[in-house]
Chain A
């Protein structure tokens, strides 16, 4: 059993334990997180969409479920869950597009359970979550008409995108609709940064749940991330020190 494996176990167990603690322990002062303007603007966009009866469009990227980047899609699903509950008062349920079949099914399930818990099960329409293509480009190309035709006022692009995200952000700019975009892929992040109205950078994607009050576990995740972040910083710093000291 090599060092890496042990360290890995330690890290994972530590993270899990911390998350458990943070999500169970109720504190008087809830943790405060830095302001990410994109999320407050998103809230407003959602509110507006609800009132003027326009739609939200979620797009989850093309990540398969059984690859490391699937986590971005899972984070996006957590957000969909929450937003779907909030928008269950609207008669235009959000439309979800995805470039991976399993992801589409998950989006359907998420919508379904969200409406169920909002006592609005009648809103659930399996066709609200759609597979728009099986290759990255065809997925994006298939999502473009939805963004144009279905009275979408806000696009939330979260998940694993590639270059194709540019088509989505560009379309939404042509439609002058709100766009919040986040992805775990670096080139796509560069595109998003340049083309999307409300880009989220890197890790902020995984904070979405906490910023839409998706529950204590999400908040706990952020706290754990911060702790681990400083662990890494400490590790790097100590490594640098050792190098400078000549070891």
Chain B
């Protein structure tokens, strides 16, 4: 019996919030804002559930000595330490800041840095994977834009920097991006409607 309830809730909330978007009745708008505010709180609570999921997954790995259980040990230790410290000291305490800056930032920055190699590698391999016109156009565009982005060590190229790149950026790329965005919006619309009207129920059921 819980399924119908859940579905009913989803549909009701969905419709109210949706109406709140389009019907500019102040009351409807404020109701919508309140509902969304609650949703924000809920997703905040969900984060805690998620962290517990993260914790339990790795705890299980350790208990069952699965592959990489040792690393899970590191993860759980780091997670607990940070979380507990965060609860005790508060997230904006200097210790939290220290942990953040000495772990999160360097690791993320290093991952991002490695992306430089990954992307170069990918663009080299791309033609091996798909050698079609689209790929060629893609690579040529990349080349031109890069040439326009930074001057060569021995001085900037004429035209590319001041004509071609802007043209690509402002016209061609803008057009493609707009088309893709519109398409994505269409998909978003129908996908959202499927859920608002209960055809899709990712929260279980059916």
Contacts and interface: CB of A to CB of B under 8 A. Distances in A.
Interface in B149-181: 177, 180-181
Contacts of A244: none
Nearest to B142: A194
A137 interface: yes
A23 B205 CA distance: 19
Contacts of B53: 101, 104-105, 126-127, 129-131
A102 B187 CA distance: 21
A118 interface: no
A130 B183 contact: no
Contacts of A77: 200, 202
Interface extent on B, as a size class? 35 or more
Contact of B50 (A131, A195, A218, A229): A131
A134 B47 contact: yes
Nearest to B188: A71
By CB atoms of chain A within 10 A, which of B112, B180, B187 has the most? Answer: B187
A130 to B, nearest CB: 5
A206 interface: yes
A207 B190 CA distance: 10
B202 A9 contact: no
B188 A68 contact: yes
A106 interface: yes
Looking at chain B's contact residues, is the secondary structure mostly helix, strand, loop, or mixed? helix
Contacts of A205: 184, 187
Interface in B174-206: 177, 180-184, 186-195, 197, 199-206
Given A134-B47, A195-B122, A206 B193 contact: no
A86 interface: no
A113 to B, nearest CB: 5
Interface in A81-121: 81, 100-102, 104-106, 109-110, 112-113, 117
Interface extent on A, as a size class? 35 or more
Interface in A140-174: 140-142, 145, 149, 163-164, 166-167, 169-170
B126 interface: yes
B180 A186 contact: yes
A63 to B, nearest CB: 11
A201 B177 CA distance: 11
A106 B56 CA distance: 17
B54 A132 contact: yes
18 contacts: A19-B199, A74-B192, A101-B47, A105-B50, A109-B204, A112-B204, A113-B201, A117-B206, A127-B53, A127-B60, A141-B107, A186-B180, A189-B180, A202-B180, A202-B183, A203-B187, A206-B188, A221-B190
Closest 4 CB pairs of A and B: A101-B50, A206-B187, A203-B183, A221-B190
Interface of B: 18, 21-24, 36, 39-40, 42-43, 46-51, 53-54, 56-57, 60, 67-68, 71, 104, 107-108, 111-112, 115, 118-119, 122-123, 126, 129, 138, 177, 180-184, 186-195, 197, 199-206
Interface of A: 1-2, 5, 8-9, 11-12, 15-16, 19-20, 23, 64-66, 68-69, 71-72, 74-75, 77-78, 81, 100-102, 104-106, 109-110, 112-113, 117, 126-127, 129-135, 137-138, 140-142, 145, 149, 163-164, 166-167, 169-170, 184, 186, 189, 191, 193-195, 197, 201-203, 205-207, 215, 217-218, 221-222, 224-225, 228-229, 232
